[in-house]
C-alpha cells in the first residue's frame, strides 16, 4: 500500500499558472490583482484525487494590482504588513469529491498571522503529455474569503455611504503543474 509520501510530486509551472484576487472598491467597481512570486508542491494520485496533498507559499510583497501606489499600500501595515508577515501559506488537509465530479480542497490558510480553514472549489482539467516528454496537469480553483477574518481590517468610510474596500475577496487560481521525475538511484555524480 502506498502512502501520500509515495505519491508523485507535481510543481506549478509559474509561467502558466496564476494566483489572483478581486475585491470591491468604492462599492461600485472591482479591483483585480495577483501575486507574482510563489511556490507550491502537489502530491497527486492521478487515479484517486482524494489522496492529493497541496502545500503553497506566497510572497505577500509580490502583490500586483498594476498600480504602484495601491500595491505599496497593500504591502503596508494597513493590509499585508509584509515586513512582519512576508508569506501566506496554504496546506491542504483533505480532498472531497463532489456529486458533480468536481473537487473540494480543504486546508488551512495562514495570512497576516492568522490561520483559518479555507475550502477551495476545484475543477480538474486532467493530464496531458507535453512536447518534451513530461506530464502536465491542470486545475482551476476558486473561493471567497472575508479579509477581516484574517485581521485585514483597514478601511475608509465614504461620504455617500459604504466603504472604500469590500470585505469579501474572491480568489481565482489557475495551475498548470509539471510532474517531477525522480532522480535515478545510484546515478553518477
The per-residue pLDDT for 23 is 79
Long-range contacts of 108-117 (CB under 8 A, 24+ apart): 109/145, 109/150, 111/85, 111/150, 111/152, 112/80, 112/81, 112/85, 112/88, 112/150, 112/151, 112/152, 113/84, 113/85, 113/151, 114/149, 114/150, 114/151, 116/149, 116/150, 117/93
- Mean of the per-residue pLDDT values of the chain: 87
Comparing 154 with 14, the larger pLDDT belongs to 14
Q: For 54-104, write each residue's pLDDT tens digit.
A: 999 999 999 999 989 989 988 999 889 999 999 999 999 999 999 988 899
**Domain 4-179 belongs to what topology?**
Lipocalin (2.40.128)
Q: Is the pLDDT of residue 156 over 60?
A: yes
Domain boundaries, the chain: 4-179
Q: For 3-30, write each residue's pLDDT tens digit.
A: 456 888 999 999 999 999 887 776 666 8
The closest of 124, 56, 120, 127 to 94, measured between CA atoms, is: 120
- Are the C-beta atoms of residues 116 and 149 closer than 8 Å to each other? yes
The per-residue pLDDT for 30 is 82
* Length reported for the chain: 189
Map residue 43 onto helix, strand or coil.
Answer: strand
Instruction: Using pLDDT thresholds of 50, 70 and 90, give the confidence band for residue 161.
Output: low
The answer to which of 10-24, 117-131, 143-157 has the lowest mean pLDDT is: 143-157
- Are the C-beta atoms of residues 36 and 62 closer than 8 Å to each other? yes
| 87: phi then psi, degrees, rounded to nearest 5 | -145, 155
Burial of 66 (0-12, 13-18, 19+ CB in 10 A): exposed
Amino acid at each position: 500500500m502506498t502512502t501520500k509520501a509515495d505519491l508523485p510530486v507535481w510543481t506549478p509551472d509559474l509561467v502558466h499558472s496564476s494566483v489572483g484576487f478581486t475585491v470591491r472598491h468604492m462599492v461600485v467597481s472591482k479591483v483585480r490583482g495577483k501575486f507574482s512570486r510563489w511556490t507550491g508542491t502537489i502530491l497527486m494520485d492521478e487515479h484517486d484525487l482524494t489522496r492529493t496533498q497541496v502545500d503553497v507559499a506566497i510572497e505577500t510583497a509580490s502583490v500586483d494590482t498594476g498600480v504602484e501606489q495601491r500595491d505599496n499600500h497593500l504591502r503596508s501595515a494597513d493590509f499585508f504588513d509584509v515586513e512582519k508577515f512576508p508569506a501566506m501559506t496554504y496546506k491542504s488537509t483533505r480532498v472531497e469529491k463532489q456529486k458533480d465530479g468536481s473537487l473540494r480542497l480543504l486546508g488551512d490558510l495562514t495570512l497576516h498571522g492568522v490561520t483559518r480553514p479555507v475550502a477551495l472549489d476545484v475543477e480538474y482539467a486532467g493530464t496531458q503529455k507535453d512536447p518534451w516528454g513530461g506530464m502536465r496537469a491542470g486545475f482551476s480553483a476558486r473561493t471567497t474569503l472575508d479579509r477581516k477574518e484574517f485581521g485585514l481590517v483597514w478601511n475608509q468610510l465614504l461620504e455617500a455611504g459604504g466603504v472604500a474596500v469590500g470585505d469579501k475577496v474572491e480568489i481565482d487560481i489557475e495551475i498548470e503543474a509539471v510532474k517531477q521525475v525522480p532522480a535515478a538511484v545510484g546515478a553518477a555524480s
